[in-house]
């Protein structure tokens, strides 16, 4: 596929066909998406500046969610609706419950009613 035949418009950082982050341009004539093989001429990247930033949270700076009875629930919050009370926003954490070649288990806790559920990935 060549540039111009895509159904979507996107920034050059992302594949306009599937949305995957494109690899950095190298010595090849084309930049090719690793997921769908869409290719863009490397000259389209001339003059483009790529910047990245990594921010680390300080230890102990994880936000706390206070549940109804005043008990604290630690962890990052995600936009997920509690299936029991309908509250939007659940705290989650992950654990490796099975062998290393299998996915992690994600545990969600509702900040309002303390309902807990797990999801195997």
The reply, when asked if residue 36 is annotated as ligand binding, is yes
The reply, when asked if residue 85 is annotated as ligand binding, is yes
The reply, when asked if residue 113 is annotated as ligand binding, is yes
Selection from 115, 114, 109 nearest residue 68 by Cα: 114
Number of other residues whose CB lies within 10 A of the CB of residue 41: 13
Enumerate helices (H) and strands (E) in the chain, giving the number of each: 0, 8
Measured CA to CA, the distance from residue 115 to residue 30 in angstroms comes to: 50
CA distances from 33 to 38, 69, 109 (A): 5, 50, 37
Measured CA to CA, the distance from residue 105 to residue 96 in angstroms comes to: 6
The reply, when asked if residue 53 is annotated as ligand binding, is no
The reply, when asked if residue 7 is annotated as ligand binding, is no
Instruction: Cite the annotated binding site by residue number.
Output: 15, 18, 33, 36, 82, 85, 110, 113
Instruction: Cite the annotated binding site for Zn(2+) by residue number.
Output: 15, 18, 33, 36, 82, 85, 110, 113
């Amino acid at each position: 596929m060549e540039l111009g035949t895509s159904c979507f418009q996107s920034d050059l950082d992302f594949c306009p066909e599937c949305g995957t982050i494109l690899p950095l341009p190298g010595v090849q004539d084309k930049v090719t998406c690793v997921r769908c093989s869409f290719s863009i001429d490397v000259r389209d990247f001339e003059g483009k500046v790529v910047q990245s930033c990594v921010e680390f949270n300080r230890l102990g700076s994880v936000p706390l969610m206070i549940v109804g009875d005043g008990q604290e629930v630690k962890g990052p919050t995600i936009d997920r609706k509690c299936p029991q009370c309908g509250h939007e926003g659940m705290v989650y954490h992950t654990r490796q419950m099975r062998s290393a070649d299998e996915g992690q288990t994600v545990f969600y806790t509702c900040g309002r009613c303390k309902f807990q559920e797990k999801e195997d990935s």
